[in-house]
Amino acid sequence: MGAFKPYLSVQDPSARYPNVRHPKAWGNGIATLFLMALLFMPMVALAHPHMWVEAKAQLNFNAQGQVTGVTQTWVFDEMFSSYAKQGLPATSDNRPPQEELDKIGQSWIEALADPMSHYFTRITYGKREVPTAPAQRVRVDWDTATEQMSLRFELPLLEPLAPADKPLVVSVADPTFYVAYSFEADDAISMVAAPERCDANYQRPERLDMETAQRLAAIGPDVTELPDDLMAVTQTLQHRVVLTCQ
Amino acid sequence: MPVKPYAAGHSKPILLWAVALMLLLVSASVLAQSPHPFAVPEQRLPTVSSGWLAQWTGQIAIWQSEFYRELTGAVRAWKADGWQAWGLLGLSFAYGVFHALGPGHGKAILSAYVLANRETVRNGAILAFASSLVQALVAIAMVGIAAGILNVTGAVLNEVTAWLELGAYALLSGLGAWLVFKHIVKPLIKRISNRGHGHSHDHDHHDHNHDHQHHHEDHVEADACGCGHVHMPDPSQIAGKLNWRKAWGAIVAIGLRPCSGAILVLVFALSQQFFVAGIAAALAMGLGTGLTVATLAMMSLGVGRMAEAAGGGQGRAWGQIIGNALQGAASIAVLLFGLLLFSAAWQYGALN
């Protein structure tokens, strides 16, 4: 039906045949509405990072060879860093005073402690989620050379855990895909005081395929438990630090 | 085969309810969103993902992200070498083009607005570019004054953006209410007050509607009953002149909320003591956004026009009914968008 015809055109071609009604009027009307619905809907792509974080994870052990917690360092991209630094007083070397940075760190950690975010970090042992205490040793730094801000915090396990037959997995990801993480530095994964028999490996997330993206998008925010198969897929979408101890 | 006026009369409510229902469904997901731990003035809107649309938005998001990540380097390159200005301008323009294809309310509102008002294609394009220019200027003024002169923090910038956002959405709701009044309430009142002789019109209106085939251009008094008044189009509106007094509401409603990319690049440029690069980038983004929004607005006008033509054009009962239904639905869409975005901004904006 009809090529693109702007409102500017005065003559309507179909009006030349006044007695011929178009049988497809209804169908076209519905199709039009559908097209417009697509056009009108505000769209948010699921994979739309607006922030990039170069991350590092460090596994901490106690003298008994148990994991006590995970320390992460997140270096923010320049754009976000300059936004976070905006308006802060600067010392002589163009660095914000530490008490200002501490204030920012406190507000970030408070927001990240929200159960929905949970520091964008989940620790699992087998099928069980390992409970953690609130983040501690929070530190925000400004690197004058790279002009980037970074956040460091430790997530202590409620009870120290010695992985045996199963791996301990630390998964990092922003479920909303607002923040894009990368663990690409050579020393991105490290261990402190780890027993000889333990080995930590990094597993890169797989790319989110469109089908999964659609299924994830279709699940309401009130749903906290994903179906098993979808859960298995979303696990592979996270950055994973896999700790195995023989 | 004659037109069945009864069936025709039912089509409008059905179409309108479909639009209303769709928007209400979307609203449920907006209201459930909570703020992100790392807040920047980012518009948070509901997710729509289905088939090719998801693929499309996904790809756009990837391109947009790539341009965005290059922006900081481009600002530095320009600072080091004046000729590199083109790099930043090109990137910003591309970012604007893809940004407007992705999330955002501007294109949706403008598309609905031009449909509701039966604007000409030319006016749709002018509105798109004007609102994008206003959007860039608001970002430049906001960052220039609040961050550049008053040196406020990012948190305060978030708050200022949230207030501008609330203002924009309040204005949008008002604009929607006005459109609904003009295109739905007023014609209905007219119809009810004409009821005394309206019944006979219902049966014969398809017989005498060819005496004004070009009346559909732009005339303001949309005729909901199609009962055969003689419509004399206002010649100035046929000529396609944009009524700025009428248009400023839409331009400001869209432009008042600055785009987050522009704010961030302006703040970054400020941090490099090179604000002029931020201004240039924001304007280039505005140009790119305007181009996309103008294209989408023209497409929506084209689709609306096709739908009317499918029903036999404005001169025919079906064409007029479809045209009026579209106009009414678009008016309601603007109103719902306004209310929806306002309530979301009110509940989850940086103000809380």
Instruction: Look at residue B197 in the predicted model and tell me its pLDDT.
Output: 53
**Which of A35, A114, A116 is nearest residue B303 as measured by Cβ atoms?**
A35
**What does B263-315 look like in DSSP terms, one character per residue?**
HHHHHHHHHTT-HHHHHHHHHHHHHHHHHHHHHHHHHHHHHHHHHHHHTT-TT
Instruction: Look at residue B245 in the predicted model and tell me its pLDDT.
Output: 79
Q: Which of residues 203-232 of B touch A (CB under 8 A)?
A: 210, 213-214, 216-218
How confident is the model over A41-60, as pLDDT tens digits? 433 333 356 788 999 999 99
Query: What ipTM score was computed for the predicted complex, to two decimals?
Result: 0.71
B45 CB within 8 Å of a chain A CB:
yes
Enumerate the residues of chain A whose CB falls inside 8 A of the CB of residue B11: 26, 29
- Interface probe for A, chosen from B21, B23, B36 (most Cβ of A below 10 Å), is B36
CB A210 within 8 A of CB B22: no
* Average confidence (pLDDT) per 10 residues, chain B, 352 residues: 42 52 48 57 48 61 79 92 93 89 73 86 91 95 94 89 89 92 89 65 45 42 41 41 82 88 93 95 95 89 81 72 85 87 71 50
Alpha-helical segments (H) within A130-226? 210-218
**Which of A33, A38, A114 is nearest residue B15 as measured by Cβ atoms?**
A33
How confident is the model over B39-57, as pLDDT tens digits? 666 544 444 444 555 566 6
Tell me the CA distances in angstroms from B71 to A48, A79, B85, B103, one per residue in order.
17, 9, 11, 19
Nearest C-alpha neighbor of A50 from the set B58, B215, B261, B293:
B261
**Which of B11, B42, B260 is nearest residue A29 as measured by Cβ atoms?**
B11
Instruction: Look at residue A1 in the predicted model and tell me its pLDDT.
Output: 33
Contacts for A209 with CB less than 8 Å, ≥ 6 apart = none
Collapse the DSSP code of B25 into the 3-class scheme (helix H, G, I; strand E, B; otherwise coil) and give the result: helix
Question: With an 8 Å Cβ cutoff, are B57 and A43 in contact?
Answer: yes
B313 CB within 8 Å of a chain A CB:
yes
Helix (H) or strand (E) holding A46: none
SS3 content of chain B, % helix, strand, coil (to 5): 75, 0, 25
Enumerate the residues of chain A whose CB falls inside 8 A of the CB of residue B34: 114, 116
CB B290 within 8 A of CB B132: yes
Instruction: Look at residue B99 in the predicted model and tell me its pLDDT.
Output: 82
Quote the CA–CA distance of A12 and A24 in Å, as a whole number: 17
Instruction: Look at residue A219 in the predicted model and tell me its pLDDT.
Output: 58
**Which of A8, A12, A82 is nearest residue B267 as measured by Cβ atoms?**
A82
The average confidence (pLDDT) of chain B is: 75
